[in-house]
Structure formats: structure tokens, C-alpha cells
């Protein structure tokens, strides 16, 4: 089970990083090195595919949180699954109205 999760994560990482970099390079969207380094890497995790592969919701959430802990912004086709803490807008404690 862990091996299949590792393979799934590896495939997701390779596809996301390669696809994003190639599309941004082709469209001329990649800015300066400082711009690229200030943005977290993005991964789109297909929850439907993970469920069909036999993973349950708890495993998918844990995988997304591990990736977020590693600095990745994790998205599904419909929602943000997990993100690094520094990407969350702090509301409360005097910051919101």
C-alpha cells in the first residue's frame, strides 16, 4: 500500500512539475528567478483517480498534507486540498473586520 502511494506521489510530482514548467515556458509566463522562487510549487491531485486506485479519504488527506508540509500547494479539480501555512490569509486577531 505504501509503495503504491509513493508511486502515485512520484507520478503526480513528475507530471505536475513537468507540465507546469513546460506550459509556462511555452507561454512565456516564467518571470525572473525571484518571481519563480517566491511561488510555491503546485500539484493537482485527482481525488477521483486516487479513490479508484483504492485509497480512502484519510489516506488522500494525509498525502495532501505531507505534500503541503513539503511546501507544495495541493489542488484537486474542484478545491484546494492542502497548502503551506504561509499561503493562508490570517483572519481574526484584529486582521479582519
- pLDDT tens per residue across span 39-97: 788 889 889 899 999 999 999 999 999 999 999 999 988 888 998 888 888 887 655 54
| Number of domains composing the chain | 1
Domain extent at residue 60: 2-87
Left (φ > 0), alpha (ψ -120 to 50) or beta: where does 28 sit?
left
In contact, 83 and 74? CB cutoff 8 Å: yes
Question: Does residue 77 belong to any structural domain of this protein?
Answer: yes
DSSP letter (8 states) at residue 86: G
Helix axes 57-69, 2-27, angle to 10 degrees: 50
Question: Does residue 93 belong to any structural domain of this protein?
Answer: no
Question: Does residue 92 belong to any structural domain of this protein?
Answer: no
pTM, full prediction: 0.53
Question: Does residue 97 belong to any structural domain of this protein?
Answer: no
Q: CA-CA distances (angstroms) from residue 31 to 14, 79, 84?
A: 21, 26, 22
Amino acid at each position: 500500500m505504501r509503495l503504491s502511494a509513493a508511486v502515485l506521489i512520484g507520478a503526480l510530482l513528475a507530471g505536475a512539475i513537468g507540465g507546469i514548467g513546460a506550459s509556462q515556458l511555452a507561454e512565456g509566463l516564467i518571470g525572473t528567478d525571484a518571481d519563480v522562487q517566491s511561488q510555491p510549487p503546485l500539484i493537482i491531485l485527482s481525488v477521483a483517480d486516487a479513490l479508484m486506485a483504492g485509497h480512502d479519504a484519510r489516506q488522500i488527506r494525509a498525502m495532501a498534507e505531507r505534500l503541503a508540509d513539503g511546501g507544495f500547494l495541493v489542488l484537486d479539480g474542484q478545491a484546494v486540498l492542502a497548502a503551506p501555512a504561509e499561503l493562508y490569509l490570517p483572519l481574526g486577531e484584529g486582521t479582519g473586520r
